Amino acid sequence: MAYTTIDDPSAYFQTAIWTGNASSNHAITLDGNSNMQPDLSWHKEPPDTNGWHLVDSSRGTDKLFAITTAAETTWSGHLTSFDSNGFTAGSGDSSTNSSGVSQLNYLWKVNGGTTTNLSGNLSSVAQVNAAAGISIVTYTGSGGNGQSVNHGLGLTPEVIITKARNGVDNWRVYHKSIGNDKVMKLDTADAEASSSNYSAAAVNSTAFFVSTNLIYVGELGADFISYCFAPIQGYSKFGKYIGNGSGTSDGTFDGPMVYTGFKPAWLMVKSASASAGDEWIIWDNARPPRGSTTSSNNYINNKMYHTSAAQSGNVYDAVDFLSNGFKIRTGRAGSNASGRTYIYMAFAENPFVTSTGVPATAR
């Protein structure tokens, strides 16, 4: 399948910022350029110390993951439905839809909950949107090595995030930039680790291959879910960069510039080569810069930590969102220590140039 430019990324990814009211029928309408019915939601209450939650339409809105080692839970208090242009929140608790508390959802569209049964060595059920390079895949492990799991994309995923639904273990992250013999953990600040979670066959346009009898990605009888992402021109990009440390002492804050081919709406970065204090960091274009009342410039310092319950650290871990990528504006270890390798995931606000030749501008 050929790569095509997505002219309006808001058809497939949007951020929702809203205020909780503890009501069981709290409908939230998205405000992007396109109407979008979400299928995947990452949620947090930024002001408090509660953690992140993940819900998707393949498992159902009553199936909730915390971004911890915990297994899937059944609870209808978080979301009750994904709607034609938003979602409806449940009655909530101290970590979701709390009355008067700011809420944050990152939302992706897949295929409206419609799934397809696929045949690999391990049968899988996949909800697929090849145009947006995303699929949600469920399967049951066999305990065998090199078992193929079809993902349905027809494109080669460059990021695969896998969790045991009925087991207590970490979220395992395959990222093409560190290779199939390394793994990251979405719920910890750990560096990359050598791993045989994925076999030498790794990942291709049809399947990914799980290779151990451990609970991580293929244990016998364990149920798993994988979120698969392939890059799409003008919409998504997954890669790495090497930190240069600029900003630590010289005051120039001239970190690496990373070309994505679009103006980012959302960016997540993690140091692959060191762990101490190196959280997964998320920036987005929806929340205004901290210490400012305007978001009219390129400077984004509203970071969120994904691996801890904290809202964010200091304001100095910052990036510029540019018309064609992002530039690191710090020398701190979390995103720009000299010589360290950082992996990233990025989704677009606008393509650098649309299919009709319209250029993006910086913020």
Domain ranges of the chain: 9-108, 116-229, 236-351
Residue 296 has pLDDT above 50, yes or no: no
CA distance 153 to 268: 22
What does pLDDT average to over the chain?
86
90 close to 81: Cβ distance less than 8 angstroms = no
Q: What is the pLDDT of residues 102-155, one digit of tens each?
A: 999 999 999 999 999 999 889 999 999 999 999 999 998 876 667 889 999 999
User: What is the residue type of 39?
Assistant: D
Does 318 have pLDDT greater than 90?
no
Could you tell me the pLDDT band of residue 163, with boundaries at 50, 70 and 90? Answer: very high
Supply the pLDDT for residue 194: 77
pLDDT, tens only, 7-49: 999 999 999 999 999 988 899 999 999 999 999 999 998 877 7
Q: Supply the pTM of this predicted model.
A: 0.92
Which is more confident, 300 or 80?
80
pLDDT tens figures, 48-87: 777 899 999 999 999 999 999 899 999 988 999 999 999 9
Q: Kindly write down the DSSP assignment for every residue of 10-69, as one continuous string.
A: GGTEEEEEEE----TTEEEE--SSS----SEEEEE-TTSS---EEEETTT-TTEEEESSS
% the chain with pLDDT above 90 = 53
Identify the bridge partners of residue 299 per DSSP, sorted by sequence position. 320
Q: What is the mean pLDDT of residues 302-330?
A: 78
pLDDT at position 173 over 60: yes
Sequence-distant (6+) residues with CB within 8 A of 103 are 16, 17, 18, 19, 20, 43, 44, 45, 46, 89, 96, 97
The mean pLDDT value for 270-280 works out to 80
